[in-house]
Structure 1
């Protein structure tokens, strides 16, 4: 069996072994907030859905700026899929140049750190396992916000399994490069509209039906791809106008993107920059996925055409099975 075929079969197995939680962008968040009378509070939220117990313990300790001391013991409590903590601080002097963050980031996840002083612009930082602390700047930088939210947006499409499977299924359905471009553009325009509208407070839907509809979109496209494998002639509306279906489902995916962005938060004073960067990051990740799938399909057609149908069939049924599980889980779970 050729290396290409082994790679494609490995992709199918990876899809079958995908995490049961569809949306992986639920990062840890730590906030340093100034209140009246020189009192500061540090608050943190640590997701534990995909972590082992010992990993959660590693994440549970915030690192304080050197000019701050704790006023009493931290208060910790459990919430659905997260550990929450809060501690009151006394801080003296200037915060510029000080570091704060988390003692460690387990499981290869990122985190968001925010400094929220009274009467001054907030600062937002992206923490990584390699750099789990942030250095407070004298003034917040728009370039910093642009860079961090660009990466967060790209990570969301690459590690948010529900959006990722929808894009892959869309490429498998359309196949033709120009048609893929049109469908992907329609999907982009649609989810950008609802992402921006929801983030700015002009629209919104409850998260549970949105997540169920996103899962339904994956199942729907998987069924269409299966029908194409049986009869390639474009008889259904979806197969004749895939861009229209991509646009319609893209609206609901935009609500999903907005929900993930709401978990992260938008930096005060840099809302437009953060929204633009997040959306550009999503598009960059989406284009990377599309280009990768098209390249794999082209290589398979050239070097191993006899394996095309079994590999595509296996991938399609894997996508449909995962989407069906998510749909049932989100409707009755």
Structure 2
């Protein structure tokens, strides 16, 4: 039994250390806007972690010349390059490739706006780093692209996952858990939609810091519950999930703003991104519940073992809070 405890604790500590060091790797973003018959404006946003920038870049067929305009500039978690692309023929029907993408685990979202107003959105992956550019993107392509982006965002958004994990721990009973997760989903769907449509907004850095604090709050609520003290979260988890879910929605919106939306298909892209987020969230909840059932029989209800999880969650979240507050002035 002691060996099982040690394995569980080692796995949890390893997970926490990974989450402390890791930041969400968002997709790279390539925006192509046609200016006239031969010129295109290019924005290339490549993910970065600190001073380390992924060595990936777009490449076009012969007949197209790429010229960098201005200096690359850093933004939060990325480096932005601007180019002018000059071609002696139409870009439509030509092949584009992201060089070295197969050496990474990053996807690339490509948005193209042609001179006639047609727009396309597609996704390149490490195992499919090149594609022929179509003249028009189908609704199915937009839906597929943004659903996958939503799934990736939630599964790589460790702060959102940690918040959901804390909700699962503190919520007793399947019906109450279902109600709680539904409330969280409804809340962040509201603010995600409002923010993406420009109806409401909050500055990103403070939102991210308060999201981390919301996880610290839930970790403290779990500890109080383990001590036999009733809390607002344990009695009405759906209410707490809804209130903090509104805040998490602004966090999702920040990611979606960074990625970009196809201007002719904003409602579809927004809806499918949100669907992707929910699919990823459901996968995570099912995985946590399944693992919980597996380890429930070997983890005692009393003693110091149950406290490891809330202390671990709270420590990671507090680290994020301090890091993000310091980032205000970074």
Question: What TM-score comes out, normalization by structure 1 length?
Answer: 0.89
Are 1:26 and 2:29 counterparts?
Answer: no
- Distance in 1 (CA, whole Å) between partners of 2:178 and 2:8 is 23
Where in structure 2 are the equivalents of 1:66-81 lying within 5 Å?
A: 66-70=62-66, 72=67, 75-80=70-75, 81=77
- Give the drift of 1:21: 6.5
Q: Return closer, same or farther for 1:153/1:7 CA change in 2, 3 Å cut-off.
A: farther
Query: 1:212 Cα shift?
Result: 1.3
- Tell me which residue corresponds to 1:207: 204
Shift in alpha-carbon separation, 1:25–1:253, aligned structure 2, 3 A: farther
Q: How many residues were matched structurally? A: 325
Please state how far the C-alpha of 1:39 moved relative to its aligned partner: 1.2
Is 1:251 matched up with 2:246? Answer: yes
Q: 2-side partners of 1:137 and 1:37: how far apart?
A: 17
Answering whether residue 184 of structure 2 is matched by residue 190 of structure 1, we say no
Structure 2 residue 161 is matched with structure 1 residue 164 = yes
- 1:23-75 deviations in whole A, cap 9, x for unaligned? 5153211122211353112221112116x84xx3621x3211444223x4565
Distance between the aligned counterparts of 2:54 and 2:325, measured in 1? 32
Q: Secondary structure at the match of 2:49?
A: coil
Offset at residue 255 of structure 1 (A): 0.2
Match of 2:263 in 1: 268
Q: Is the 8 A contact 1:110 1:126 kept in 2?
A: yes
Once residues 19 and 207 of structure 1 are traced to their aligned partners in structure 2, the CA distance between those partners, rounded to angstroms, is 20
> Partners in 1 of 2:261 and 2:141 — Cα distance?
13
The structure showing larger relative contact order (alpha-carbon pairs under 8 Å, at least 6 residues apart) is: 1
How far, CA to CA, are the matches of 1:297 and 1:229 in structure 2? 17
Deviations 1:109-157 (A, max 9, x none): 2221111212322211222211223321132111111111111111111
Q: Distance in 2 between matches of 1:225 and 1:295?
A: 20
- Quote the residue 1:285 is aligned against: 280
Q: Would you say the 8 A contact 2:27–2:259 is kept in 1?
A: yes
CA distance in structure 2 between the aligned counterparts of 1:276 and 1:75, rounded to whole angstroms: 36
Partner of 1:102: 98
**Structure 2: how far apart are the matches of 1:289 and 1:90?**
45
Per mean C-alpha deviation after superposition, the further-off stretch among 108-117 and 250-259 is 108-117
Q: CA deviation at 1:205?
A: 0.6
- Pairing of 1:145-160 with structure 2 (within 5 A): 145-160=142-157
- Deviation string 1:83-134 (CA, Å, 9 cap, x unpaired) is 2222222223343332224202354122211112123222112222112233
Residues 309, 46 of structure 1: alpha-carbon distance in 2 compared, 3 angstrom cutoff: farther
8 Å CA contact retained: 1:150, 1:277? yes
Q: CA RMSD in A?
A: 2.4
Distance in 1 (CA, whole Å) between partners of 2:282 and 2:4 is 21
Q: Is the CA contact 1:116–1:123 (under 8 Å) kept in the aligned structure 2?
A: yes
Do residues 91 (structure 1) and 76 (structure 2) align? Answer: no
Partner of 2:47: 47
Q: Is the 8 A contact 2:212 2:318 kept in 1?
A: yes
Q: Which runs of 5+ in 2 are unaligned?
A: none
Alignment TM-score, normalising by the size of structure 2: 0.90
CA–CA separation in structure 2 for the residues paired with 1:100 and 1:247? 43
Q: Is the 8 A contact 1:300 1:307 kept in 2?
A: no
Q: Is the 8 A contact 2:299 2:306 kept in 1?
A: no
